[in-house]
A = this chain, B = another copy of it.
């Protein structure tokens, strides 16, 4: 392992000069810089990031903190992984270090984000699957570490917080409009946890579209907790309870839940989309392989991760600018919605 000292000796300059030369400090003569560069190259030297991270004032390390998916099935995580890929890509391009922290909601003592960051000299964080009212997130904020949240609209007053998401209101509105335009008036919604930010946004979009057409959703909002099994159970129960007045379309707030709903509907003896139409949300690839393929909203998770990492870097560098980034979503018009108007 060649160290900076060896490079210094070989180049006949001081250690400080080597550091400055390689880090593009202005107060280094071109001659010295070139000499240092060449000897570093020759000795195959590359700085130790651990040492740099310890000594430097401005560490370039960010963390990605994600809540609750170690246990869950791989299918549920493909979006988390795409996020990670995006974050990774951005950090790699800008020579940042990336640390990951996966937390489980049930392991209380393990959830201290601030401690995780403090221990690792982390100066910026991308969070996903975490809510604004998470107590550990609050303590993290108190440490003045810039945070960017995925899928959350952040309060504008705190310049250290950013957010990245699609326009969930618009996407849900578009989806509801599409369904309504195909003649559906008896709508039901399979939503996630009420506390999640996206959940409220999407509900707002649906409401807006429904009210415009005078459609009432009272009692038609099912909670599926963003989980396949819960979705299955809830939809099953809902169908049995509303046998006499079944909805003609079920709008789901995640593809995972749509899969559970699809199963519940089929086992109830009904067909999608002949008897009940169905829509998803997220754009998992699996929606292209189900029978029928599921109409859904595709979120660009990898891009979201990338933008989040870039945004947190900008905040770390003290730059001004927009703290809320909206990335484009894409409607995937598959075949799970029946057109009642023809």
B88 touches A70 (CB 8 A): yes
Query: How many copies of this chain are found per oligomer?
Result: 2
User: Does A120 belong to the interface (CB within 8 Å)?
Assistant: yes
Nearest-Cβ distance from residue A181 to partner chain B, whole angstroms: 28
Residues of B within 8 A of A74 (CB): 78-79, 81-82, 284-285, 301-302
A46 touches B98 (CB 8 A): no
Nearest-Cβ distance from residue A278 to partner chain B, whole angstroms: 14
Question: Are A89 and B70 also in contact (CB < 8 A) when A53-B50, A289-B286 are?
Answer: yes
Question: Are A120 and B286 also in contact (CB < 8 A) when A78-B78, A100-B88, A291-B291 are?
Answer: no
Name A48-74 residues within 8 Å CB distance of B.
48-51, 53-54, 69-70, 73-74
Residues of B within 8 A of A289 (CB): 259, 286, 289-291
User: Does A186 belong to the interface (CB within 8 Å)?
Assistant: no
Other contacts beyond A47-B119, A289-B289: 16, CB < 8 A: A1-B118, A46-B115, A48-B118, A50-B119, A50-B120, A51-B54, A69-B85, A73-B285, A75-B285, A78-B78, A81-B81, A88-B100, A88-B102, A92-B102, A100-B100, A289-B290
